[in-house]
Amino acid sequence: MTLQAQFAQAQADSKTLSERPDNMTMLKLYALFKQGSSGNVQGERPRMTDFVGRAKWDAWNEVKGTTQEDAQQQYIDMVENLKN
């Protein structure tokens, strides 16, 4: 199975986890998914009043510079660990 196919499968698997991960884990998953699918963070940092948007942007910015392939593999590994 190709990395792209594994990434797509991990995305599908993430929606069927037996229990919802904690917020920090969700932010890490979001950041790795965005980095793996879109590359480095884009746009300006959301305003202070947009707490959720700002947290997501900050999480994505933390993985800035990671290659899309590395981010995809980390995402796949993280979802696999959450499934167990």
Domains and CATH numbers, the chain: 3-83 (1.20.80.10)
Predicted local distance difference test score (pLDDT) of residue 1: 86
> In the chain, how long is the greatest CA-to-CA distance?
43
Cα separation, 1 vs 17, in Å, equals 21
pLDDT digits (tens, 9 = 90+) for 4-58: 999 999 999 999 999 999 999 999 999 999 999 999 998 999 999 999 999 999 9
Structure tokens at 23: 């917020």
Predicted local distance difference test score (pLDDT) of residue 4: 94
Predicted local distance difference test score (pLDDT) of residue 46: 94
Identify whether the C-beta of residue 11 lies closer than 8 Å to the C-beta of residue 50. Answer: no
* pTM: predicted TM-score of the whole model, two decimal places: 0.92
Cα separation, 1 vs 7, in Å, equals 10
Predicted local distance difference test score (pLDDT) of residue 55: 96
